[in-house]
Each structure stands twice: as structure tokens, then as C-alpha cells.
Amino acid sequence: MSSGGVIRRVLAVAGLTFREAIRRRVVLAALLMSAGFLLLYGFGLYLGAHSVWTGAQAGFSELMRRAVAAQMLYLGLFPASLLVALTAVFASVGTISSELDSGVIYGTLARPIRRSELVLGKFVGLAAMLVVYAALMGGAVVGLARWQMATPLLPTWPAAVALLVFEPLPLLALAVLGSTRLPTLANGVMCTAAYGVAFIGGLIESIGGLIGNATMRNIGIVSSLLMPLDSVHRKALSLLLPAGLLVEQGGIPGMGGSTPSVWAIVYAVVYVAILVALAMRVLARRDL
């Protein structure tokens, strides 16, 4: 069968998955939470800007102003990425397993479609939803910060935005892989734990970097091998904000340590590809 057939089938599944994802309650809830967060964040920025430019701290040096602005953006991107990551987990932990439970999958798989195409379509559809969501969130946070505080951005900011958009995909790949084998709930627990490991690992690595503790740094490196999420986030921040502004503040989780190399990003991309390939293989070999 021609590759046109493969692409058509993958896109058909992806389209259906995308539509299903955006109409699910979990995404609606995420959007409501996001709207609430952005409102609060925008208000915070307004207060911050007011304070730095005209209020009590109006005497701040230009450098200090820029540092506060950078800090505010840094702080805003953390909850934004948290919301995107949790949405990635909860929107996709049951993407295969729940269809197996309900029996919906039988109608699809009795068609001339390879199971690997189904898995790929599911991944692409969910990734599309997350990419849109992450782009909206990242764009809103950066936009608000620029608007309110004229936050200085590095010329590499487009690459940073691309990384922020890519950030939920390792977690998505893990959730899709898990859903080919695990019950939905167990998969949710596993993926949430993986997110926790990545986050805590990144934190330990940062502190280790600050205090010069090699063991702590290594723990962080291992955690980012298990779930390359925090490393992508830190790389994005390093491409977005002038590092000096934040390092001067000192002791900021996730920014104190060394900046991840480009290999961390390569690793994350390979990680996603391998997990998706594994998911295809697991489903293809399973009796359903």
C-alpha cells in the first residue's frame, strides 16, 4: 500500500484524536485554570511594573529593573509549563487503554490500519493539541511580561518558544507508551511520578550546581535521562532570558546550575522517538 495510504490513515486517527482531546473535560479544565493563572499573572506583572517604575522601588537601577522583569517572566513560565505538563498527562494516559476497556478500539483496528499507525496517529493528534496549548500559554506569558514590564529577551527567543512548545512531548510519549500496556489509572500515576522525578531532579541538580555538589548534579542528570523535561525547560529559559540577570539573583531553582547543552535537546527528541516507537511495537505485539 502506498505511503499516501499510511499518511491518510495516520492523519485520520490524529484528526479524530485531536477533536476528542479538545472536547474533553480535562482540557476544558486546563483552559479554565490557565485563564485564571494568566489573569493573576497579568495582575502580578502590573503590580510589579507599577512598583519598579513609579512606586516605592522607582529608584531601582536599570539593571535591577531588567532583573526583576526577567525574574517575573521566569516565575510565570514555571506554572505555565506545569499546567501544560499535567494536561499532557491527563489528556493522554488513557488514549489506548480506555479504548481497550470500552471496546471502541476494535471497530478501528478491524480496518486496514496497522496498529503502529494507530499509535502514531494518537501521538500526533495529542501532540497537536499540546503544541497549540503550550504555544498559547507560552505566548501569553511572554506577551504579558513584555507588555507590562518590557522584559528583555535574547535574540534566540524563537528557539526558546519552540522548546517550550516541545516541552510536553516527552511526557506525552511516555503516557502513550504506558497506555498501550498499563491500565489508565496506573499509567496516570506513573506519568505524574515521572514528572515529579524530572522536577525534583532538576531542583537537586540546580542546588548541587550552586553548592558544587557533584552527587546532587548527577542525580539531576539521571533524572533528566529518565524524563528529559526540566532540561528542556532550562534550555528554553537560557535561550529566552539573558542568563546574567537571573544568576545574579542567586539560588533560583532550575537556573542556578549549568545550562543544559544542545545534546540534552537532541536526547529529548530521540527519547520521544524511541518511546513512540516502543509504544507502536508494544501494541503491535499484544493480543487485544
Q: Which stretch, 5-13, 131-139, 145-153, 177-185, contacts another protein (CB under 8 A)?
A: 5-13
* List 3, 56, 61, 112, residue binding another protein (CB under 8 A): 112
Burial class (CB in 10 A: 0-12, 13-18, 19+), 125: buried
Q: Which stretch, 10-18, 133-141, 180-188, 274-282, contacts another protein (CB under 8 A)?
A: 10-18
| Closest distance of CB 115 from another protein, Å | 9
Q: Please, which residue, 3 or 61, has the CB nearer to another protein?
A: 3
| Closest distance of CB 274 from another protein, Å | 24
Q: Please, which residue, 15 or 209, has the CB nearer to another protein?
A: 15
DSSP 154-192: -TTHHHHHHHHHHTTHHHHHHHHHHHTTS-HHHHHHHHH
28 touches another protein by CB under 8 A: no
Residue window 226-265: x/- pattern of binding to another protein, with contact defined by CB under 8 A: ----------------------------------------
Ramachandran class of 7: left when φ > 0, alpha when ψ lies in -120 to 50, beta otherwise = alpha
Q: Which stretch, 54-62, 70-78, 108-116, 223-231, contacts another protein (CB under 8 A)?
A: 108-116
Chain Cα centroid distance, residue 28: 18
111 touches another protein by CB under 8 A: yes
Residue window 76-105: x/- pattern of binding to another protein, with contact defined by CB under 8 A: --------------------------xxx-
CA dihedral 270, 136, 49, 78 (to 10 degrees): -40
Q: Which of residues 113-142 bind another protein (CB under 8 A)?
A: 113-114
CA distances from 144 to 36, 147, 161, 203, 235 (A): 14, 5, 14, 26, 21
How many whole angstroms separate alpha carbon 27 and alpha carbon 92? 11
Q: Which stretch, 15-23, 25-33, 60-68, 272-280, contacts another protein (CB under 8 A)?
A: 15-23
274 touches another protein by CB under 8 A: no
Q: Please, which residue, 150 or 288, has the CB nearer to another protein?
A: 288
8 touches another protein by CB under 8 A: yes
9 touches another protein by CB under 8 A: yes
Count CB-CB contacts under 10 A for residue 157.
15
The greatest distance separating any two alpha carbons of the chain, rounded to the nearest whole angstrom, comes to 71
How many whole angstroms separate alpha carbon 168 and alpha carbon 172? 6
Q: Are 173 and 272 in contact (CB under 8 A)?
A: yes
For the chain, the helix, strand and coil percentages under 3-state DSSP, each to the nearest 5: 80, 0, 20
| Closest distance of CB 13 from another protein, Å | 8
| Closest distance of CB 22 from another protein, Å | 11
Q: Which residue has the cell 518511546?
A: 275
Binding site for another protein (CB under 8 A): 1, 5, 8-9, 11-12, 16, 20, 23, 102-104, 106-114, 285, 287-288
